[in-house]
Chains A and B, each alone.
Chain A
């Protein structure tokens, strides 16, 4: 919403500065988006008179002028403009002035031997247009020495505010002025009392055939008009807010739209077919040729104004071209109606028509203003165009806008945190147009003004359907009681200034508060930290990606495909963050950094339910380990990814030694080089492995690439318990190595488990320290070497005891895996 300061002053009697006005507007909820002040840059320029114009002695195209600036001095000016001539009036800039169109600061100097002490300006040099064919040529009667911007009416800053959706009343200069007056910035000028005498019966009448189309409408005709351009003040205001002046009748409707927030429409009576204008719903197949030059196919959900020929306006949104007023209009008919905000919003959206009328009706207009607005508009039109008014015709009923609201003064402090004296609060409400209906020491009851559709508004709640009925009813009753009061607290506080509410630090129950994160919530941060400490870069990627890419990584149900993606490559919720990270690795490789280690804590989407959005710690590593003298570079492999996954699980308190690893990982992994980590038979905690070569090819990645996922929600919450006494045996452990020959297909894990289980009391640890497969072994066999640590507790082990355990170990491993001890 834009308005020039002069328009505001037409509604607000104030001596406040522009800065005070804009600061206050922002403070009270009418946020200033900008102030266009054309005057500031042009303030120094004066109207001057060219007294003498001589040919420049040394240049054919230049003239040497003597210019009277009206300040008692005559300036010598060298000027190249073809229209510079003696007797003309122009705009003069003196040394030191900044020229807006060029950004240059003017200095006195000499041009080809002739002194030039000032400059006559073109429109372009003043930043007022493109005209640079000559200097500005002002009329004879332009006052010498006066400020040019003042004379030209440009010293009228245009203020633009953003109006929040609740404040339809502030989409009007009058409403803005009312708020400013309430905030102490002057006095709201009352609307003038109209004096219109009906001279004849209206040639048109209203009919409301369907109340959905309109609930209340007034109208009246004016005959004997001479429509033409509107006066300069009105044109200036409209131009300042970006409207195109059209003709006086139409311009007056805009004056009311923007001035009072009261959209009007004018029909040319001569163009209306028949004598009845009907408010009804459109019929399928009907069309409207609208004032914006477009044709609209109407639907049965559109409320229209129709004459005998069909639709002539989309009520409350846009008028029709065939019945619009033009310079030839001799008799007009003014429409002033109330429309249903929701229907306006839906119709406007359906046809994608954004008009100032729609914007206002959508937010709700003043329910009491139509009779006065109609009279005022009639009066203004007659003032501008002459003619005489008909009687008013109406249909429907005025909306019931009267509502009351009660404020307990205590709530200003109790909710608003500001101990506002009751008199001050009541005065603010009164200045906003609330009328006191009753007041005692504790409370005031006010009537809500008809333009404040947002205060004490009724409207259904949207309660949680699973609430117990008793609780739902109590809450709804409480809301009905509290909401209007809350509205009033807001009005008082915003007008008084929220900066005047004293801040109070939030009281804490304890100076050492309870942890902000539950142990379960803390896991994501811990996982992120563990992975970063392992050299991975924590990433944040979009949760949606291209459907084709997503399909490489798992199911891409239709339920997870966006109805309205912003781009075709961002249309499917990802089945795993691994997809995002591999794409990122590809981008890094393309930048010349093929060795990437990227991780992300984010969701994998399986279905749209809350449970279907799974928290995953994922990572990818691509390329090689770094080259280093102490360690040769090698490609990443599945055991790197397994290390990452296991490190996360260990940090989350999972006893990793007891986990099972199986080779049934999802399809985006290499089928022979990937695993699933399970706790128990069912619970999948993690996956890891090399990325499938087909995925690498599809993503154009060179590889190798490994990845892992840890499913945080599947990790059981670690129990908080004391660690008990440490196990610190008095006797030295004994370590024995065993090398087994086993079928290549046997899982190493099986050997480890069997060995551990051979003597649970004595065996403290089993580690696999060598794996060999090669030509020295029989075909299909591998050698696995274990180090077993035996921890005696009662006495030092004898050789016989050690041999006994060794035999049990060999037997257990043989039984479980078929392995034999290597000779």
Chain B
């Protein structure tokens, strides 16, 4: 179709569109905008009039003109809505500007609390208990980032790229950094072992409580969870010390002086020899220290010489142990919590029920 064939009728549409656009731009508040809308699309609006006049158009032009009118109508409606959003935003901004308060005024003198105090999350509580108990055994707390390098999370821990153990980790990856390597959300707290050994001279005695992440989400797995790692490096630390340390901890944590603890051989790339640790319980009732069943609770072992060497520590001079356990798991066992999911849902009712008293931090004097 060439310009010459545009019917005179098309010109009036172009003029109407141009005029409406000018009016929209000129409408600086919502009331003005509404006036524009009524003027064009209202019962006696200009476009409405043209639509009404469609019946008088020759049948051979009616279809084409009708389509053009409807297109224009849709355009104008969209234009009005876009303008409305802009004006509403501006109105909100103006309102907010008018609502300005003097934020330098002193804060309220009291918290707006009801009769109930708040609570400490069971995970936070367990971390405090771990800190108190391991602190008594001479451990310091070490921390590290949630997002870490592949090397800290895997390579330094003797989990090379194609190692089958890596497949078990369900790792979350972030886009590659400037070095071309993809950072990971740490799959365990063990990278902090590495950070500690790289920056600190032995002897070392640390625990590492913290968030960990794995791409797994179901009733018993959360994509984010918590672990506590333990690391002891010294001259003459043996597997016997590892066993003693864990038995002492588990019995104190669960408050069961004769809690049965069993050690089984296992394998982790970053320890050798490696052990899994079970505690005695009654599977039917969930009672710990009772019954004749065993429940796997943590992994441990003597730090692998490769891990020491990767961190620049000579395994001829230094040796030690490491262990790791799930904080949710020991928390659930200790308090009889059966469902993992509510830990992360921040349901006030659950937090009030399972949360701890903020004014009674764990104390060795009272027993954690």
Contact residue among A167, A564, A643 (Cβ-Cβ distance under 8 Å from B267) = A167
Report how far A572 CA is from B202 CA in the complex, Å. Answer: 38
A642 in contact with B107 (CB, 8 Å):
yes
Contact residue among B102, B156, B358 (Cβ-Cβ distance under 8 Å from A529) = B358
Per-residue A-contact encoding for B187-229, CB less than 8 Å = 1, 0 else: 0000000000010000000010001010111000001101000
B105 in contact with A639 (CB, 8 Å):
yes
A610 in contact with B144 (CB, 8 Å):
yes
A166 in contact with B113 (CB, 8 Å):
no
Q: Would you call B343 an interface residue if the criterion is a C-beta within 8 Å of the partner chain's C-beta atoms? A: yes
Report how far A506 CA is from B110 CA in the complex, Å. Answer: 47
Report how far A602 CA is from B247 CA in the complex, Å. Answer: 31
Report chain B residues within 8 Å CB of A694. Answer: 92
Report chain B residues within 8 Å CB of A538. Answer: 118-121, 124, 351, 355, 358
A410-453 residues at the B interface, CB under 8 angstroms: 413-418
Report chain A residues within 8 Å CB of B138. Answer: 506, 508-510, 513-514
Residue of A nearest to B268 (CB): A164
B243 in contact with A543 (CB, 8 Å):
no
Residue of A nearest to B316 (CB): A478
Report how far A596 CA is from B272 CA in the complex, Å. Answer: 49
A603 in contact with B146 (CB, 8 Å):
yes
Number of interface residues, chain A, beta carbon within 8 A:
149
B105 in contact with A748 (CB, 8 Å):
yes
Report chain A residues within 8 Å CB of B116. Answer: 535
Number of interface residues, chain B, beta carbon within 8 A:
127
B308 in contact with A28 (CB, 8 Å):
no
Contact residue among A349, A601, A608 (Cβ-Cβ distance under 8 Å from B174) = A608
Report chain B residues within 8 Å CB of A580. Answer: 346
Q: Would you call A566 an interface residue if the criterion is a C-beta within 8 Å of the partner chain's C-beta atoms? A: yes
Contact residue among A165, A584, A598 (Cβ-Cβ distance under 8 Å from B164) = A165
A561 in contact with B135 (CB, 8 Å):
no
Candidate in A167, A501, A515, A593 with the most chain B CB atoms within 10 angstroms: A501
Q: Would you call A725 an interface residue if the criterion is a C-beta within 8 Å of the partner chain's C-beta atoms? A: no
Report chain B residues within 8 Å CB of A785. Answer: none
Q: Would you call B90 an interface residue if the criterion is a C-beta within 8 Å of the partner chain's C-beta atoms? A: no
Report chain B residues within 8 Å CB of A749. Answer: 104-105
Contact residue among A416, A510, A639, A747 (Cβ-Cβ distance under 8 Å from B107) = A639
Spot the interface stretch: A117-125, A317-325, A671-679: A671-679
Contact residue among B103, B236, B306 (Cβ-Cβ distance under 8 Å from A675) = B103
B244 in contact with A503 (CB, 8 Å):
yes
Report how far A314 CA is from B151 CA in the complex, Å. Answer: 32
How many pairs, one residue from A and one from B, have CB atoms within 8 Å of each other in the complex? 398
B240 in contact with A564 (CB, 8 Å):
no
Contact residue among A483, A516, A610, A750 (Cβ-Cβ distance under 8 Å from B134) = A516
Report chain A residues within 8 Å CB of B167. Answer: 349
Q: A84 to nearest B CB, angstroms?
A: 40
A504 in contact with B243 (CB, 8 Å):
yes
With known contacts A31-B266, A534-B111, A640-B112, A561–B346 Cβ distance under 8 A: no
Q: Would you call A705 an interface residue if the criterion is a C-beta within 8 Å of the partner chain's C-beta atoms? A: no
B143-201 residues at the A interface, CB under 8 angstroms: 143-148, 151, 155-156, 158, 160, 162-165, 167, 172-175, 177, 182-183, 185, 198
Q: A215 to nearest B CB, angstroms?
A: 17
Q: Would you call B97 an interface residue if the criterion is a C-beta within 8 Å of the partner chain's C-beta atoms? A: yes
Report chain A residues within 8 Å CB of B347. Answer: 587-588, 591
A479 in contact with B113 (CB, 8 Å):
no
Q: Would you call A494 an interface residue if the criterion is a C-beta within 8 Å of the partner chain's C-beta atoms? A: yes
Q: Would you call A728 an interface residue if the criterion is a C-beta within 8 Å of the partner chain's C-beta atoms? A: no
Contact residue among B100, B151, B316 (Cβ-Cβ distance under 8 Å from A673) = B100
Residue of B nearest to A454 (CB): B267
B358 in contact with A567 (CB, 8 Å):
no
Report chain A residues within 8 Å CB of B216. Answer: 566
Q: Would you call B338 an interface residue if the criterion is a C-beta within 8 Å of the partner chain's C-beta atoms? A: no
Residue of A nearest to B351 (CB): A537
Report chain B residues within 8 Å CB of A498. Answer: 239, 243, 263-265, 273, 275
With known contacts A418-B239, A506-B241, A587-B346, A461–B309 Cβ distance under 8 A: yes
Q: Would you call A29 an interface residue if the criterion is a C-beta within 8 Å of the partner chain's C-beta atoms? A: yes
A566-615 residues at the B interface, CB under 8 angstroms: 566-567, 570, 573, 580-581, 584, 587-588, 591, 593, 596-599, 601-603, 605, 608-610, 612-613
Q: Would you call A541 an interface residue if the criterion is a C-beta within 8 Å of the partner chain's C-beta atoms? A: yes
Contact residue among A418, A487, A514 (Cβ-Cβ distance under 8 Å from B272) = A487
Q: A127 to nearest B CB, angstroms?
A: 22
Report how far A541 CA is from B343 CA in the complex, Å. Answer: 8
A516 in contact with B263 (CB, 8 Å):
no
B309 in contact with A486 (CB, 8 Å):
no
A478 in contact with B309 (CB, 8 Å):
yes
A673 in contact with B103 (CB, 8 Å):
yes
B243 in contact with A521 (CB, 8 Å):
no
Q: B283 to nearest A CB, angstroms?
A: 14
Q: A307 to nearest B CB, angstroms?
A: 29
Q: A640 to nearest B CB, angstroms?
A: 5
With known contacts A461-B306, A531-B118, A640-B111, A541–B100 Cβ distance under 8 A: no
Chain A interface helix/strand/loop/mixed? mixed
Report how far A27 CA is from B117 CA in the complex, Å. Answer: 48
B164 in contact with A525 (CB, 8 Å):
no
With known contacts A29-B267, A562-B173, A768-B105, A417–B118 Cβ distance under 8 A: no
Q: A710 to nearest B CB, angstroms?
A: 13
Residue of A nearest to B157 (CB): A462
Q: A425 to nearest B CB, angstroms?
A: 13
B84-119 residues at the A interface, CB under 8 angstroms: 92-93, 96-119
Per-residue B-contact encoding for A22-38, CB less than 8 Å = 1, 0 else: 00001111010000000
With known contacts A417-B240, A625-B112, A642-B107, A599–B118 Cβ distance under 8 A: yes
Q: Would you call A689 an interface residue if the criterion is a C-beta within 8 Å of the partner chain's C-beta atoms? A: yes
A608 in contact with B151 (CB, 8 Å):
no
B111 in contact with A532 (CB, 8 Å):
no
Q: Would you call A481 an interface residue if the criterion is a C-beta within 8 Å of the partner chain's C-beta atoms? A: yes
Q: Would you call A178 an interface residue if the criterion is a C-beta within 8 Å of the partner chain's C-beta atoms? A: no
Report chain A residues within 8 Å CB of B151. Answer: 462, 464
A626-666 residues at the B interface, CB under 8 angstroms: 626, 628, 636, 638-640, 642-647, 661, 663
A511-566 residues at the B interface, CB under 8 angstroms: 513-518, 521, 525, 528-529, 531-544, 558-566
Residue of B nearest to A481 (CB): B316
Per-residue A-contact encoding for B334-368, CB less than 8 Å = 1, 0 else: 00000000011111110110010011010000000
A165 in contact with B107 (CB, 8 Å):
no
A417 in contact with B361 (CB, 8 Å):
no
Contact residue among B96, B173, B306 (Cβ-Cβ distance under 8 Å from A671) = B96
Q: Would you call B56 an interface residue if the criterion is a C-beta within 8 Å of the partner chain's C-beta atoms? A: no
With known contacts A493-B265, A537-B355, A771-B105, A516–B121 Cβ distance under 8 A: no
B276 in contact with A463 (CB, 8 Å):
no
Q: Would you call A490 an interface residue if the criterion is a C-beta within 8 Å of the partner chain's C-beta atoms? A: yes
Q: Would you call B304 an interface residue if the criterion is a C-beta within 8 Å of the partner chain's C-beta atoms? A: yes
Residue of B nearest to A588 (CB): B348
Report how far A161 CA is from B146 CA in the complex, Å. Answer: 34
Per-residue B-contact encoding for A381-417, CB less than 8 Å = 1, 0 else: 0000000000000000000000000000000011111
B351 in contact with A490 (CB, 8 Å):
no
Q: Would you call A472 an interface residue if the criterion is a C-beta within 8 Å of the partner chain's C-beta atoms? A: yes
Q: B209 to nearest A CB, angstroms?
A: 11
B108 in contact with A640 (CB, 8 Å):
yes
A566 in contact with B345 (CB, 8 Å):
no
Report chain B residues within 8 Å CB of A564. Answer: 172-173, 215
Q: Would you call B262 an interface residue if the criterion is a C-beta within 8 Å of the partner chain's C-beta atoms? A: yes
14 CB contacts below 8 A, A to B, read A415-B239, A417-B239, A463-B309, A464-B151, A475-B309, A504-B244, A529-B120, A532-B120, A533-B358, A558-B175, A566-B223, A591-B349, A603-B146, A747-B102
A464-B310, A493-B265, A605-B147 given; 20 more Cβ-contact pairs under 8 Å: A165-B165, A345-B164, A415-B319, A462-B160, A483-B305, A505-B245, A516-B131, A525-B124, A534-B113, A535-B116, A537-B351, A542-B224, A587-B347, A588-B348, A608-B177, A613-B145, A626-B114, A639-B106, A645-B107, A768-B106
The 6 A-B residue pairs with the shortest CB-CB distance, nearest first, are: A417-B240, A535-B113, A516-B135, A672-B100, A749-B104, A494-B265
